[in-house]
Amino acid sequence: MSGTRGLESFRLGYVTGAASGVGLLYWTSIVVMQFGGLSLPVGLGVMFLLCLAVALFPAVFGWCTARLLRAFGAGGLMLAPAVWVATEMLRAYTMFRFPWCLLGYSQYTQLPMAQVASVTGVYGVSFLVAMSSALLAYAYLVRQDAGGAHRRALGGLAAMLAVVWAHGTWTMSRALPESGRVRAGLVQASILQDDKWDAAKAVENIERHMVLSRAAAAEGATLIVWPESAVPFPIDRFPETAQQMRGIARETGAAVVFGNDDLERTADGTRIWVGAKMIHPQAGLVYRYHKNRLVPFGEYVPMQWLLSLGGRATLRLVSAVADFTPGTEASVGTFAGHTLGTSICYEAIFADYIRHFSVNGAELLLNITNDGWYGTTSAPPQHFAMAVFRAIENRKWMLRAANTGITAFIDPRGRVVSRTQLFETRALVGEAAFVPGLTLYARYGDVFGWACVAASVLAVLRAYRQKS
């Protein structure tokens, strides 16, 4: 243990991070090959580059933990969970901001464990998982200790898990305040990605959403939600499409939220926003939202100047990716005297961003997405798991409408009340509540995560002084 070298630990963390990255992100190669037109070698190369970038953070964790072990012995493992969370924070706030599948998301079905996220965000759950591993590792290292350190570590682990589980179970049994309820219909039209952008099928695709909307209204839905990019024409420039949307709202008597991009041509060029809108049956267009967090290598290319130095292959990637303009705020809309916030697709992985809808008064969260890019890979379930945490962190219902799935009603405790399967064509209808107020996480954000960053920096600095 005392002979653990920082460079060796960095290398081990890097290899481990890259290997796990391939398991989590293999689907990125499929996307850039199938929809970006890249060859197999280039597509695999893009995926491996992403995995190597993500692997930097476990590598830093390995290096820091080795320093702590050399300075403090086995007890240094008790600082490792804070270091792990610090590296997750770095991944969320640096480079091109990619907090995909953080450790805490592994507990999205273990809801009593996940309830702490309303205070700490997903990072607190990552801390608990890492601390469980640290205590097991510590118990193994001190198993020969005559003072009973081994038993105390295992006892501490059991006590921690029992307290967290008991608190989570109690939390899930408590009723939340409600300011009203709504019967909603979530439309999953299951349009294949190749068909979604086929201009010849655009009218047919909209009609498929309308048929499902009528079915949802027949079951009593007064709020109907379509997925991302459900309407491919900018309705400000296509009056006939705008008239269609007003027509379906009047016909069903329901407000319709739908994905629809915005376009603006100026003397300086054209700007395009990934957007969402809500049309009220009487008042018309009442809400417009522009996506703030764009998908790297999907909706914009980060570090274009660097990639452009890579020759034809990377230039092709840069030119193949649409260059969207990011929105500027987490704007909210009003429905039946209540407030809702609509996030789009990838934004649901950003805990620090989604909470701003709550801060801006949202009593209900919507997420519209199109995971059709990913087919039947593990990406749609991964994306869905992260959306579950946004409901817990904000203590709001999350209504998720996905083009090909997974569409779902998620309650404020993270319980999946109802959901569809991938590529199931269905209007999912159910009731949800408007929940007022702010959780500690929604109010204060990543205080716990930043505290872990500060504690890690101080611990590593102390380890250096200890060494000297």
Q: Are strands 332-335 and 338-344 parallel, antiparallel or unpaired?
A: antiparallel
CB within 8 Å of 433: residues ≥ 6 apart: 176, 178, 180, 181, 182, 364, 397
C-alpha 362/C-alpha 435 separation (Å) is: 8
Looking at residue 7, its pLDDT comes to 87
Looking at residue 1, its pLDDT comes to 43
Q: Both tokens of residue 11? A: 């290398």
| Candidate list 64, 101, 345, 452, residue with the active-site label | 345
The one-digit pLDDT tens for each residue of the chain (468 residues) are 444 577 899 999 999 999 999 999 999 998 888 877 778 888 898 899 889 999 999 999 999 999 999 999 999 999 999 999 999 999 999 877 899 999 999 999 999 999 999 999 999 999 999 999 999 999 999 988 868 899 999 999 999 999 999 999 999 999 999 999 999 999 999 999 888 878 888 889 999 999 999 999 999 999 999 999 999 888 988 999 999 999 999 999 999 999 999 988 877 778 899 999 999 999 999 999 999 998 877 777 765 544 554 545 554 555 545 578 999 999 999 999 999 999 999 999 999 999 999 999 999 999 999 999 899 999 999 999 999 999 999 999 999 999 999 999 999 999 999 999 999 999 999 999 999 999 999 999 999 999 999 999 999 999 988 765
C-alpha 385/C-alpha 349 separation (Å) is: 9
| Cβ–Cβ < 8 Å for 61, 434 | no
Residue 452 appears among annotated catalytic residues = no
CATH 3.60.110.10 in the chain, residue ranges = 180-292+327-436
Domain 180-292+327-436 has CATH 3.60.110.10: yes
| Candidate list 64, 88, 101, 228, residue with the active-site label | 228
Looking at residue 231, its pLDDT comes to 94
Burial 159-168, CB ≥16 within 10 A → b, else e: eebeebeeeb
Residue 396 appears among annotated catalytic residues = no
Q: Which of 369, 433, 357, 365 is nearest to 401 (CA)?
A: 369
List the strands of the sheet with 180-188, edge to edge: 284-290, 275-280, 255-259, 223-225, 180-188, 426-434
CA terminus-to-terminus distance, the chain: 18
| Candidate list 196, 277, 291, 396, residue with the active-site label | 291
Residue 345 appears among annotated catalytic residues = yes
Q: Tell me the CA distances in angstroms from 446 to 88, 127, 166, 222, 452, one per residue in order.
A: 12, 13, 24, 35, 10
Q: Both tokens of residue 98? A: 């990619």
C-alpha 137/C-alpha 134 separation (Å) is: 5
- Global pTM value: 0.93
Q: Tell me the CA distances in angstroms from 414 to 159, 360, 387, 393, one per residue in order.
A: 24, 21, 9, 9
